Amino acid sequence: MKRRITLLTLMIFMLSLVLVACDAATEDAINDAAEQVQDAVEEIAPTVEAAVEEIAPTVEAAVEEVAPTVEAAVEEATGGDDEETADEEEMADEEMEDEAMAELSCEEPIKVGLITDVTGALAIYGAHVTRAFPLGMEYATGAPGTEGDGYTSYMVDGCEIQVYVRDDQSNPENTATVGRELIEVEGVDILVGTVSSGATATLQELARENEVIHIAAPAAANDLTGATFNEYSFRTSRNNYQDAVNICAYLASQYSSLVQIAPDYSFGTGSAAAFRDACTLEGATFVGDDIFAPADTTDFTSYMDPIFDAIDNGAEAFIVTWAGGGFVPLLQAATDSGVLDEIPMAAGFVDNVVMPAFFSNAIGSTSGILYHYTFPDNEINDWLVEQTQAQLGTFPDLFDADAMNAAILVVEALKATGGDASAAALIDAMEGMEFEGPKGTIYIRPEDHVAIQDMYIATLLNVDDTEFKYFELVDTNRPDVPCLLPEELVDRCGDLPVGSLSGE
């Protein structure tokens, strides 16, 4: 077989030489040349075959001898080339990605609706949002906004981003009204907000119905990325579970038995469930059932009785989860009734303004907090502190980081899509996105859109520093929390723990 292949190859080679040499020849000349080649091949064939048979053993032995060396050399060379090629391709892909993200263009302005509490019961927190979201836009776009007709305009490359601000007073009905107006009249592509978890759930549903992106900030209810999850809704705010995991890591090391009280709505019930799970996982136990009071309660006297019952049954501390003004009468009732003479209160530290009223009797205590401007050590937080002081004459507060992160997420997502503000494009860009903010790296978990972020444990030193330097940082945590999606969506959870951390 080898001899036949050799002869055939020789014939083809000789014929090709003739054809090349006779490129301009006539067809008859080519045919004559071909016949001459064939006669020559037939004449020398026996000699060639004999030569091949004579040298074949020597050639085969030589091939067998050098084959391993050749194969090794080829493998080494090819492997190196493949590795270098892969590195070069990866670098090229990164460069293309950077170029794509650097250039953002849009035919029409991209519109963002920011909804928060400006004049309602939680306006103290809304103030954090109305100052830090614009600062976040300024940081992310590289320049302050300019005032337009009912909006503030920011530019990224050739693309305009318009931000419309609305006040919902933390009232779900108002949230629905202003949310619909922003979608149907202004035509916003993205909704951001709001303070109240109950009102945010309304906003979340509006986003789903109208297929626009929603970013929750600073509402903390688990349900937003749990029971009421939809693919259009994201968050930069932490959830109740992150609070609980952060605080319980410390609390359970100090107290072995606990009781807790919380407001009777999604924020409070979610928080209670999270604390019970996280502290149990850390080795603590709960004495009796959790205590819930309406969110608008002003007299907590009657709610002290079940706490005394828990004390009689061995409770060593009581956990308080409360947002807003209700914390003051709750604390007053605990003081007047003598509860605080029996056991200490465990509650997450709050905003700068309210700290003196809430924690003046807790100097020296240690607990958790989601953000304080003195804790993160990074350039973005430094910028936020500097600009808040320079432009507004104050310091960032509890929810400033959430609001700034929401603005950064908006801009980074639009850069990733090249200016495509469609929900499908933004969902694809935001799921799994990492970006840097005043709290460091924020990771948007693709399974359930939880924002994985740093949290802090601190010891309270004072409540009267004029620059709100109240704390000494004890530890920085990055809580990992369970996937809380409803049963019909649980497949999205993948390898995450589902429902709880303790498995109960």
257-298: per-residue pLDDT in tens? Answer: 999 999 998 888 988 999 999 999 999 999 989 999 999 999
| Mean pLDDT value of segment 487-498 | 96
| Mean pLDDT value of segment 382-392 | 98
Q: Considering only CA atoms, give the Rg of the chain.
A: 35
pLDDT for position 81: 52
* DSSP structural state of residue 183: I
Is the pTM higher than 0.75?
A: yes
Specify the length of the chain in residues: 504
Task: Find out whether 410 and 192 touch, Cβ atoms under 8 Å.
Answer: yes
Task: Detail the DSSP E strand segments found in 2-135.
Answer: 110-116
| Mean pLDDT value of segment 153-180 | 97
pLDDT for position 502: 74
Task: Find out whether 322 and 300 touch, Cβ atoms under 8 Å.
Answer: no
Render pLDDT for 136-147 as a digit per residue (tens, 0 to 9).
999 999 999 999
Torsion of CA 403, 408, 410, 412, to 10 degrees: -160
Per-residue burial over 243-253, b if 16 or more Cβ lie within 10 Å, else e, is bbbbbbbbbbe
Name 243's bridge partners: none
Q: How many CB atoms lie within 10 A of CB 316?
A: 18
| Mean pLDDT value of segment 296-310 | 95
pLDDT for position 78: 46
- Percent pLDDT > 90 in the chain is 71
Render pLDDT for 332-365 as a digit per residue (tens, 0 to 9).
999 999 999 999 988 899 999 999 988 998 899 9
CA angle 432, 436, 438 (to 5 degrees): 130
Render pLDDT for 320-336 as a digit per residue (tens, 0 to 9).
988 767 888 998 999 99
In one-letter notation, the amino acid at residue 402 is: D
Task: Find out whether 358 and 330 touch, Cβ atoms under 8 Å.
Answer: no
pLDDT for position 267: 82
